[in-house]
């Protein structure tokens, strides 16, 4: 690890249900404001969901919006914002040296479902009405590829399918490609358009894992006794990553440094999480970062508000951080729901300002803590100022088929 180039974050672009830039999002997190609202879902009525309201036309022509996908628009918005935030002048950068690595939980459900529904509803299943845009919209690289078309970038681009561990996985891929020298700048993170496919909601409902609550802002409630499932959200978050030497040379504003990471697999079940492997993944990420549990100031949990999943993650965290009294724990899905392939990247972003302000945002909607989720460092109610500040964040993101990803980020020190 020590011989490998150090990788730093120099730009962040995001859209999430609490804002379309980091300061707005962070302010809402510290204020304890929910971003969940009711959203009409085909065949299912209004459901609690996290919806983004970024201006699609800020970086896209109307024709691009019509031809492309929602995930593509989210990706394009985030990429442009990240590049601007990193103060990168694309006129002065070799476009073949920029790589794009985006995590996705799934892609193509929205486009396929919409097309099938139209064919059944209006065209008597006659396939001559099926759009010729279907394949470019549904290929798995679509959101990353749309960025290259929008910005004229010519380096590598692809998506990383990693279920809900994908946000971290995209960043990790970017780190690895920079270390391999495959690119000089990585646009890395995750995106999701999942709220626009009723099949995603219906799938969670059939699984007994879809959140319901008379007040949508209270539907996502990880660790609370009354939690009953996931609030599906859309969103995206893309980081500009660079090798430290390059960033210093161009006098970039360094936001944070990647300290370590790990991706592993449960190898046990399609859906059910495995706390032994989750703990192992966190432990290996710590080892990768050459750190101990006590070095972690904040654990940003994956917890999705399902009865079983939250309990399992807490078990893994308790085993690893039980003795680490200084480690705080929070959860962002309680504010914005589960933004699927973007979740890991968005949740990490919301915590990054902690390096500067020393604040830890709370976990929303924990009215009565489930004893199986009680963790000593869990921050509920209101945001707190952490004694000694926040220098290291461990970000959990786990997904179906037992994929676990852990990313450790640290405050940059030259």
Partner 1 sequence: MDKDKVKQIVLDIIAEIAPDEDLNDVKSDVRLRDQLDLDSMDFLDIVMELRKQHGIDVPEPEYRELESLDSCANYLLPKFEAGAAA
Quick one: how far is CA 184 from the chain centroid?
23
d(CA 29, CA 80): 24
Should residue 67 be labelled a site residue for partner 1 when binding is judged by CB under 8 A? yes
Q: Is 66 in the site for partner 1 (CB under 8 A)?
A: yes
Q: What is the rounded distance in angstroms from the CA atom of residue 153 to the CA atom of residue 72?
A: 15
Q: Work out whether 92 is an interface residue with partner 1 (CB under 8 A).
A: no
Residue ranges of alpha helices (H) inside 241-392 are 244-249, 275-288, 307-321, 333-336, 343-351, 354-357
DSSP characters over 127-184 = GGGS-TTHHHHHSTTHHHHHHHHHHT--S-EEEEE-GGGHHHHHHHHHHHHHHHTS-S
- In whole angstroms, how far apart are CA 155 and each of 11, 173, 182, 250? 18, 14, 9, 20
Query: In terms of CB distance, is 131 or 308 closer to partner 1?
Result: 131
128 forms part of the interface with partner 1 (CB under 8 A): yes
Compute φ and ψ for 6, nearest 5 degrees: -75, 140
User: What is the smallest separation between the CB atom of 137 and partner 1, expressed in angstroms?
Assistant: 12
Nearer to partner 1, 129 or 245 (CB): 129
* Only segment of 46-54, 100-108, 122-130, 160-168 that touches partner 1 (CB under 8 A): 122-130
Of 5 and 136, nearer to partner 1 (C-beta) is 136
| Of positions 4, 33, 129, 308, contacts partner 1 by CB under 8 A | 129
Complex with partner 1: residue 133 or 250, whichever CB lies closer: 133
CB of 62 to partner 1, least distance (A): 4
120 is a contact residue toward partner 1 (CB under 8 A): no
Binding partner 1 by CB under 8 A: which of 123, 181, 308, 376?
123
Task: Give CA–CA dist 147/157, Å, rounded.
Answer: 9
In whole angstroms, how close is the CB of 214 to partner 1 at the nearest point?
Answer: 40
Cβ of residue 140: shortest distance to partner 1, in angstroms? 20
For partner 1, the closer of residues 137 and 328 by Cβ is 137
Cβ nearer to partner 1, comparing 92 with 122 = 122
For residue 325, which phi and psi values (nearest 5 degrees)? -70, -20
Looking only at the bridges linking them, the beta strands covering 298-301 and 384-385 are: unpaired
DSSP character for 367?
Answer: S
What minimum distance in Å lies between the beta carbon of 72 and partner 1?
15
CB of 67 to partner 1, least distance (A): 7
Nearer to partner 1, 61 or 385 (CB): 61
Please tell me whether residue 119 binds partner 1 under the rule CB under 8 A: no
Contact residues for 111 (Cβ-Cβ < 8 A; gap 6+):
69, 134, 137, 138
Contacting range for partner 1; rule: CB under 8 A; set: 3-11, 125-133, 152-160, 252-260: 125-133
- CB nearer partner 1, residue 131 or residue 287: 131
Q: How far is the CB of 61 from partner 1 (least distance, A)?
A: 5
Closest CB 111 distance from partner 1, rounded Å: 15
Residue selected from 42, 97, 133, 283 as contacting partner 1 according to rule CB under 8 A: 133
Q: Measured between alpha carbons, how far is 344 from 357 in angstroms, rounded to an integer?
A: 21
Q: Return the sign of the alpha-carbon dihedral for residues 82, 83, 86, 87.
A: negative
Q: Please identify, using beta-carbon distances, which residue of 92 and 132 lies nearer to partner 1.
A: 132
For 39, how many CA atoms within 13 A lie in the half-sphere containing its CB?
24
CB closer to partner 1 out of 63 and 92: 63
DSSP label of 5:
P
Whether 408 contacts 291, CB under 8 Å: yes
Q: How far is the CB of 63 from partner 1 (least distance, A)?
A: 5
Nearest distance, CB of residue 133 and partner 1, angstroms: 7
Asked if residue 152 binds partner 1 (CB under 8 A), the reply is no
Residue 121 found at the interface with partner 1 (CB under 8 A): no
Instruction: Count the site residues for partner 1 by CB under 8 A.
Output: 12
Which residue, chain included where needed, has tokens 């290996």?
Answer: 284
The H or E element that residue 34 is part of is: none
Between residues 66 and 92, which has the closer beta carbon with respect to partner 1?
66
Give the 3-state secondary structure of residue 368.
Answer: coil
What residue ranges bind partner 1 (CB under 8 A)? 61-63, 66-67, 122-123, 128-129, 131-133
């Amino acid at each position: 690890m020590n011989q490998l180039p150090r990788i730093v974050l120099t730009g962040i672009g995001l859209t999430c249900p609490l804002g379309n830039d980091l300061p707005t999002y962070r302010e809402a997190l510290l204020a304890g404001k929910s971003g969940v609202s009711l959203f009409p879902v085909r065949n299912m009525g209004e459901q609690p969901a996290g919806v983004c309201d970024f201006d699609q036309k800020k970086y896209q022509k109307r024709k691009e919006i019509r031809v492309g996908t929602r995930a593509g628009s989210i990706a394009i918005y985030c990429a442009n914002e990240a590049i601007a935030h990193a103060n990168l002048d694309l006129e002065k950068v070799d476009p073949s040296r920029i790589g794009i690595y985006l995590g996705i939980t799934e892609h193509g459900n929205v486009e396929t479902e919409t097309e099938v529904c139209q064919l059944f509803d209006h065209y008597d299943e006659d396939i001559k009405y099926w759009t010729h845009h279907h394949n470019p919209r549904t290929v798995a690289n679509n959101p990353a590829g749309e960025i290259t078309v929008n910005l004229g970038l010519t380096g590598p681009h692809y998506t990383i399918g990693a279920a809900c561990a994908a946000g971290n996985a995209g960043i990790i891929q970017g780190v690895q490609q920079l270390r391999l020298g495959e690119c000089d700048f990585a646009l890395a993170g995750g995106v999701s358009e999942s709220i626009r496919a009723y099949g995603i909601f219906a799938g969670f409902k059939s699984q007994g894992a879809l959140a319901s609550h008379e007040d949508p802002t209270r539907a996502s409630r990880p660790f609370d006794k009354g939690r009953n499932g996931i609030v599906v959200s859309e969103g995206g978050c893309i980081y500009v990553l660079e090798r430290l030497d390059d960033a210093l040379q161009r006098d970039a504003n360094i936001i944070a440094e990647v300290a370590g990471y790990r991706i592993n697999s449960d190898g046990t079940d399609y859906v059910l999480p495995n706390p032994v492997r989750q703990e192992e993944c966190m432990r290996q990420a710590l080892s990768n970062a050459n750190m101990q549990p006590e070095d972690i100031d904040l654990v940003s949990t994956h917890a999705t508000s399902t009865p079983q999943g939250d309990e399992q993650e807490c078990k893994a965290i308790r085993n690893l951080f039980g003795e680490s009294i200084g480690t705080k724990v929070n959860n962002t899905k309680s504010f914005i729901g589960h933004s699927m392939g973007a979740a890991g990247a968005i949740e990490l972003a919301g915590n990054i300002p902690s390096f500067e302000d020393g604040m830890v945002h709370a976990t929303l909607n924990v009215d009565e803590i489930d004893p199986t989720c009680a963790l000593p460092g869990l921050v509920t109610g209101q945001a707190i100022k952490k004694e000694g500040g926040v220098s290291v964040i461990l970000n959990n993101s786990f997904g179906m088929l037992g994929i676990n990803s852990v990313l450790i980020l640290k405050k940059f020190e030259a």
